[in-house]
């Protein structure tokens, strides 16, 4: 079990460019979460899928952020027209689904917008 | 909405001394409470969780009691080691995880020999 895999580990984009972050959840897990981590805001919930369906995106900035889960083995977080304030570590996590189950995090993608 | 407030770091300790990281929470639900630990270059990993009020969780010498009356979940360890240096996050979540987990801002703990 390789755990939750996130790629790339580091990404640098120019202001205004698009960034796509990838996540491979643990095989068999039905729930996938995206979080954003910064020193100022800590860990912020962005969005949540269950069985590939979007369940809650209440934490997503509406205009430039989007997330998809086209199949059970990967999810993507896309940020259009990146801004310096988007610089953060983006963490993907997965769990077995509903109920009292543990959430496992990936190592994160550090996005730097210059 | 839900919120979690914890000790503002950094906390610096010598090996062998005791650690307390305070955590208080606000919620209208009946959540499970968690402590996560994050080492450099890694994602947060579960230290332990407590689903029910008035119960205690523990792992690796760390422990915390789910105090519903005081809405607190303070992390304690009697004797820390250098390897305990990390960022500790208190979090709450509903059992169906419909809203994901709500985390505190984290407390950086540094233990020196």
pLDDT for the residue numbered B1? 82
Q: What is the mean pLDDT of residues A48-75?
A: 93
What is the rounded average pLDDT of the residues A45-68? 92
- In chain A, which residue's Cα lies nearest the Cα of B44? A105
pLDDT at A98 over 70: no
Tell me which residue in B51, B97, B105 faces A42 most closely, judged by beta carbons: B105
Q: Is B11 an 8 Å CB contact of chain A?
A: no
- Looking at residue B34, its pLDDT comes to 94
A6 confidence band (pLDDT: 50, 70, 90): very high
Question: Using the beta-carbon criterion (under 8 Å), do A45 and B100 form an inter-chain contact?
Answer: yes
**What is chain B's alpha carbon radius of gyration, rounded to the nearest angstrom?**
13
Q: Which neighbouring-strand residues pair with A99?
A: none
A chain contacts of residue B99, beta-carbon cutoff 8 Å: 45, 48, 56, 58
Using a CB-CB cut-off of 8 Å, the residues of chain B touching A56 are 98-100
Once rounded to an integer, what is the mean pLDDT over residues B40-58?
Answer: 94
SS3 content of chain A, % helix, strand, coil (to 5): 5, 55, 40
Tell me the CB-side half-sphere exposure of residue A50, using CA atoms within 13 A.
12
| pLDDT, position A82 | 97
- For residue range B60-96, what is the model confidence (pLDDT) as tens digits? 999 999 999 999 999 999 999 999 999 999 999 876 5
Alpha-carbon gap, residue B67 to B75, rounded angstroms? 12
**Closest to B10 in 3D by CA, of B90, B104, B111:** B111
| Model confidence at B100: pLDDT above 80 | no
Select the highest-mean-pLDDT range: A24-33, B29-38, B54-63: B54-63
Q: Which of A41, A58, A106 sits opposite B43 (nearest CB)?
A: A106
- In this predicted structure, what is the pLDDT of residue B56? 97
B103 contacts in chain A (CB < 8 Å): 35, 42-43
Interface check for B40 against chain A (CB to CB < 8 A): the answer is no
Question: Shortest Cα distance from A52 to chain B (angstroms)?
Answer: 14
The pLDDT > 70 percentage for chain A reads: 95
Model pLDDT, residue B96: 57
For A20-36, the pLDDT digits (tens) are 999 999 998 989 999 99
β-pair type (A10-13, A109-113): parallel
CA distance B99 to chain A (A): 7
Q: Please report the pLDDT score of residue B101 as a whole number.
A: 84
What's the average model confidence in pLDDT over B36-42? 94
- Please report the pLDDT score of residue B99 as a whole number: 58
Query: What's the pLDDT tens digit per position in B6-26?
Result: 999 899 999 999 999 999 999
């Amino acid at each position: 079990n390789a755990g939750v895999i996130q790629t790339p580990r580091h990404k640098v984009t120019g202001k205004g460019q698009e960034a796509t972050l990838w996540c491979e959840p643990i095989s068999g897990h039905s729930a996938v979460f995206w979080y954003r981590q910064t020193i100022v805001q800590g860990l912020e919930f962005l969005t949540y899928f269950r069985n590939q369906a979007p369940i809650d995106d209440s934490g997503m900035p509406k205009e430039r952020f989007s997330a998809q889960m086209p199949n059970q083995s990967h999810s993507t977080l896309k940020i259009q027209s990146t801004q310096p304030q988007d610089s953060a570590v983006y963490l993907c996590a997965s769990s077995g689904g509903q109920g009292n189950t543990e959430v496992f995090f990936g190592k994160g993608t550090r996005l730097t917008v210059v | 909405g839900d919120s979690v407030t914890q000790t503002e770091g950094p906390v610096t300790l010598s090996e062998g001394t005791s650690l307390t990281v305070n955590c208080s929470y606000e919620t209208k639900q009946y959540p499970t409470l968690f402590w996560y630990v994050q080492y450099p270059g890694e994602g947060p990993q579960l230290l332990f969780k407590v689903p029910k009020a008035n119960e205690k969780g523990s792992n690796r010498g760390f422990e915390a009691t789910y105090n519903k009356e005081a809405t607190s979940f303070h992390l304690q360890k009697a004797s820390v080691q250098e390897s305990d240096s990390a960022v500790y996050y208190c979090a709450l979540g509903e059992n169906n995880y419909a809203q994901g987990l709500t985390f505190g801002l984290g407390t950086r703990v540094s233990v020196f020999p």
